[in-house]
Amino acid sequence: MKFTAKQISEILQGEIVGNPLEEVHKLSKIEEGEKGALTFLSNPKYEPFLYSTNASVVIVNKSFSSEKDISATLIKVNDSYEAFSKLLEFYNQAKSNKTGIEQPSFISESATIGKDVYLGAFSYLGNNVSIGNNVKIYPNVYIGDNVVIQDGSCIYAGAKIYADSIIGKNCFIHSGAIIGCDGFGFAPSENGVYNKIPQTGNVILGDNVDVGSGTTIDRATLGSTIIKKGVKLDNQIQIAHNVEIGENTVIAAQSGIAGSSKIGKNCLIGGQVGIVGHLKIGDNVRIQAQSGIGRNLNDNEIVQGSPALPYSDYNKSYVHFKNLPKLVDKINALEKILNAQK
């Protein structure tokens, strides 16, 4: 797929400096630019690469002024980083603009499918499944009975969506993710045997939710596990039964949230964070990586450590943590002096 500098400038409403007919067919970093590549410059420290890159077209800020001759065609825009991101989205949509139903695949007679849907080979759609318009379902995807997937969502290869789950509009569920599996619910009997508690609820994803590869979201015991609109989940995250995550919260890889905890909106949670069950985490909370959360957190708290402390307290304490060996040596030396004086 080829584009000219003129076509790109029209998409970005930019100004061309150079050859408007220069063609590109791939994207690259500015330091790795080759003939036929499109790249961008936003960070000033990468400016030296602009004079040596072999890329055919470079997107720059309107404020940019060259110090030397540049072989590439430039497209000047208000914000080069934002413009390049817009092109990445455009390119990704064009690349994945598949439609049609591949064979072999299984579609229940009671399933309903909207317009311009892509269904990859070896996919399974169960009874009463409802698929909206412009949905992309890649090969080897399992979609259980009564699942609803709304317009514009994309389910990548190998993902599994269990029965009764509801997926909002423009969601992205990546390979290996499992939505709606049983929650970890077992009750011990008198003889020490653990009996499974039936998990009869479902999972609800709001609009514009991203679920990373290998992430699992358990169905509720009763009611729903709810991931609200705009939430972004990284790879390999565990969300337990009856958890609720507020709008636009972002969680990094390998974090785990135990059952029935409620997380507010606009939170940032680092990688490998563990949150115990039945807690309430407020809005705009920041949890640093590898923290262990065993208490409720109020709005706007910033915490770190295990058990987690307020961020500033943790940093102050860390100064003493790393000096503990020296302090122990001093105490031992003082004990020897005191013992010698006895």
What interhelical angle do 80-95 and 5-12 show, nearest 10? 110
- Cβ atoms of 233 and 212 within 8 Å: the answer is yes
State the catalytic residue, choosing from 25, 174, 241, 278. 241
Is 278 annotated as catalytic?
no
Q: What residue ranges in 93-185 does DSSP mark as E strands?
A: 100-101, 106-107, 112-113, 118-119, 124-125, 130-131, 136-137, 142-143, 148-149, 154-155, 160-161, 166-167, 172-173, 178-181
Strands 250-251 and 268-269: parallel
Q: What is the DSSP string of 214-248?
A: T-EEEPPSSSEEEE-TT-EE-SS-EE-TT-EE-TT
For 204, the token pair is 């609800």
What dihedral angle (degrees, nearest 10) is formed by the CA atoms of 284, 290, 296, 300? Answer: -20
Residue 190: how many CA atoms within 13 Å on its side-chain side?
0
Which residues participate in catalysis according to the annotation? 241
